[in-house]
Amino acid sequence: MTDNALHRTPISRRRMMAAGFFGVLGSQLVLVPGTAPRAEAADALTLPGEGYTISATGAAVTLLDAAGVSRLVLRGYRIAGLVTNAGTSAPGTAPDGTPAIVVTYDTGSPQTTIKGTFTPRGRRLEVVFDITSTTIASGSGGMIRRQVVPASVVETYTGIASWLRDPRGGVPYQSLGTAVYEEAFPGLSVYITGRGSNASWRDSGALHLPATQTQAGVFQATANIVVTEPLRPQIVGAIAEDTPLAVDVWTDRPFNIWTGADRPLSVRGVAYNKGPERRLTLKWKVRDFDGRVLERKVTRPLAGAGALAEDSLSFTAPGRGVYFVEFEARAGDEKVFARTNVAVLPPHDFSGAETATTIGIAADYLFATKEERELLHRLGVRWSRHPHFTAAELAQYGLHQNRLRTPESPEAFDGDPAGLRAYIDAEITTAEEAQAVYYELANEWNMRGGILKGAGGAEYVTKWAASFAQRIAERGSPLKLMSVALAGMDYVYAERMFAAGLTRHVRAFALHPGRGNFTPDYAPDPSEWTQGSNGSYWNFLGSVRKAKEMIAAQPGEPLELWLTEAYACTKPNSWWHDTYRHAAENVLLTQALAVAEGVRASLWYQFYDSVKANPQGANETNPEYHFGLVMRDKSPKPSLLAFAAAAEALDGATFVRWVRFPDENLRGLLFDTPRGPMSILWSRADGYILNAGHEPDETFYPAPEPWVDPWPTKTTVRLPATGQAVRQIDCIGREKSIPVSGGGTVRVTLDGAPRVYYGLDLSGFGSAE
């Protein structure tokens, strides 16, 4: 989906009309409601909708626009290897009695029947496939056979989701709706929609439309096709699903980011009213990161049946930061809302100085737009775990990239040395062609045999690492080999690898220091780690330190330590995961700790919410959909602002030491930077455990809104300072100047949120850690 498609302005205000008769083209059969079809044969059977007509011959149903131009041909359904190549069309009705064209398909299998019912319902064409079979076990892989006319039309996909609130409280979340595929023609769009459709499962002849099992041996798949002027996909989804009231909110800026606050920020909204004509109440509210309401607005437009009510809001932002926008529509007892975030992120010139730790991205999918590349560059991304970038982009943005590849299984090519050699050669060649610097060999294999079991650790080295290293050397390749990335610091698996000679074959040790509801600086002794999905094994700093300890114990030149996935997952209303505000705090502290611990590179997982197999998808219960720095609508999380703040603060930074304060709850990291001494300070008076108030046997946790300060304990201290003022920068990059008193000190208030300071003189405080 292109940014232009995401930012289209809805322009249609027409009312929906119901189709009520079969039409005639030439010698075709005509059916008037309440009459039976005439007996004469016809070349084609037609039925009109609003702004289109469908025409059926045999198994093919063609959708024609208002001018009679063919736009889409539907050739039936594909399931379990069966393809509907032939069939018979006839007049019929939908279950509610609405006139329809019914196609009975020839499946070539006596055990399976497929029937398609095509029912015009105003702008919407309802397509239902009913399947009965004694041999098909699942309809999850079903496909609707469609051919766009002409075939050169580019199909674009948007995932639709609705905003909901849990009655138990917490933050709103998005729940999966329908998938929308747009076939765009001049002045007209044909949208194919279907629930559960995976955009990755489509080709020029079919797209994914799963069938639901309604009873044993009976399945049904439903698509809705909307023919209209170009509309916002969210509104298309509402029309397709016959939703009474719907809203969408967006901006015309890529990623909803402005580079300055010198002019008002403008947000656009639209409400769709299915009908009847009624007056809507549209409400806007904008908050900042501190919870201050920056703007409110209420309008009450009259919306006809099937009409859109458009609105907009402009507000003045105080400066850099993230702002939370909610747009609501009410009509009687019905209420819907949508949210988006907007941000002000000024340009920044990074120094280009050599930094011990490189900040990068571990995104397993990107959309490769110019705006995306520019934003990654602005965020300070200088390394990619995956080879997403062309040679020209690597040069333009000052990037380096690696290649990660996980073999099919640890046992792959057992007994097939020639096959293994061919696989390795192909992988090295692919990595070299992508200008990869490191080759990361496998991902999280330590979980296959169980955490802290060590199963397969030695074999990984003797079979995979040794074989790759040998071929890299024999070919004279500049590629550097990196070990399998461990899920958590599995010291048992690591010890098996080291004992098998890992350091002789690789240049870097890869780690994923997964983290649960603990602050990043939580570092329990490994002897105290508890296992399980909610165990303290999943901690950041303790894992990094254990990895460093084991690397240092090996003979020869120490391996580089790479964090090929660091993260702050924001699964909504989950105590094990970060709230949106905690995630921003933890992004900054995670990156600072990585530099402090001498990590070679910290690669953030990942850039977008959703997953590679379902981009723009929504799933409120699956944490994999919530690791991004941006929301699924491509608007910025507070985490994105924090990532930028961390990159700016750590640009060219060299770690000096931990700072010991008289108050044992206070923490500090001291760095030298091209901008002078820089410190990051925080307090642990409220402990290391996040979301500690959750119910012990509940996964649900009513997370506070991102503008709510979660730290009750504030500690004010006087610290020595230089100059006239100290610069304080919070986790999302907002700067505050604190004046220095006549005695050369400054009052600083600390809590659990890390803050960056320039101008403090901490030389009189001892070294900690």
Give per-residue pLDDT as tens, 735-764. Answer: 999 999 989 999 999 999 999 999 999 999
Segments in 387-512 forming alpha helices (H)? 391-397, 417-433, 457-459, 466-475, 491-499
Q: Are 767 and 659 in contact (CB under 8 A)?
A: yes
Helices H, strands E: what count in the chain? Answer: 11, 44
**358-638 adopts what CATH topology?**
TIM Barrel (3.20.20)
Q: Are 685 and 715 in contact (CB under 8 A)?
A: yes
> In this predicted structure, what is the pLDDT of residue 23?
34
Name the E strands within 253-318. Answer: 257-258, 265-273, 278-279, 281-287, 293-299, 302-303, 307-315
| Residue 454 CB partners (closer than 8 Å, separation 6+) | 490, 492, 493, 495, 496
> In this predicted structure, what is the pLDDT of residue 445?
98
Q: Is the pLDDT of residue 416 over 50?
A: yes
| Residue 444 CB partners (closer than 8 Å, separation 6+) | 484, 485, 486, 487, 512
> In this predicted structure, what is the pLDDT of residue 25?
30
Q: Which two tokens stand for residue 515?
A: 């983290």
Of 16 and 767, more confident: 767
> In this predicted structure, what is the pLDDT of residue 768?
79
R_g over Cα of the chain: 30
Give per-residue pLDDT as tens, 119-142. Answer: 999 999 999 999 999 999 999 999
Give per-residue pLDDT as tens, 60-110. Answer: 999 999 999 999 999 999 999 999 989 999 999 999 999 999 999 999 999
**pLDDT-derived band at 352, boundaries 50, 70, 90:** confident
Q: Is the pLDDT of residue 693 over 50?
A: yes
d(CA 594, CA 358): 9
CA distances from 297 to 152, 163, 281, 326 (A): 44, 20, 10, 11
Q: At what angle do helices 541-552 and 491-499 cross, to 10 degrees?
A: 20
SS3 for 683?
Answer: strand
Give per-residue pLDDT as tens, 520-535. Answer: 999 999 999 999 999 9
| Residue 156 CB partners (closer than 8 Å, separation 6+) | 1, 2, 5, 181, 182, 184
Q: At what angle do helices 417-433 and 466-475 cross, to 10 degrees?
A: 60
CB atoms within 10 A of CB 553: 10
**pLDDT-derived band at 695, boundaries 50, 70, 90:** confident
d(CA 589, CA 731): 9
In the chain, which residues fall in CATH 3.20.20.80? Answer: 358-638
Phi-psi region of 676 (alpha: psi -120 to 50; beta: other; left: phi over 0): left
**pLDDT-derived band at 367, boundaries 50, 70, 90:** very high
Q: Which two tokens stand for residue 11?
A: 């322009």
CA distances from 166 to 70, 173, 337, 633, 680 (A): 45, 8, 14, 21, 37
Give per-residue pLDDT as tens, 603-645. Answer: 999 999 999 988 888 999 999 999 999 999 999 999 999 999 9
Q: Is the pLDDT of residue 27 over 60?
A: no
Q: At what angle do helices 541-552 and 580-596 cross, to 10 degrees?
A: 20
Q: Is the pLDDT of residue 6 over 60?
A: no
Q: Among 37-41, 394-398, 555-559, 587-591, which stretch is predicted with the lowest mean pLDDT?
A: 37-41
Q: Are 516 and 694 in contact (CB under 8 A)?
A: no
Q: Is the pLDDT of residue 43 over 80?
A: no
Average pLDDT, the chain: 93
d(CA 459, CA 451): 16
pTM listed for this prediction: 0.92
In the chain, which residues fall in CATH 2.60.40.10? Answer: 259-344
> In this predicted structure, what is the pLDDT of residue 355?
67
CATH number for 15-243 (one of 3.30.70, 2.70.98, 2.40.30, 1.10.357): it is 2.70.98
Q: Is the pLDDT of residue 376 over 50?
A: yes
Stretch 501-524: mean pLDDT, rounded?
98
Q: Is the pLDDT of residue 541 over 90?
A: yes
Q: Is the pLDDT of residue 40 over 80?
A: no
Phi-psi region of 533 (alpha: psi -120 to 50; beta: other; left: phi over 0): alpha
Q: Which two tokens stand for residue 757?
A: 């300071």
**Closest CA relative to residue 78, chosen from 136, 6, 24, 7:** 136
Q: CATH 2.102.10.10: does it fit domain 259-344? A: no
Stretch 571-581: mean pLDDT, rounded?
98
Percent of the chain, pLDDT > 90?
A: 91
Amino acid at 402: N
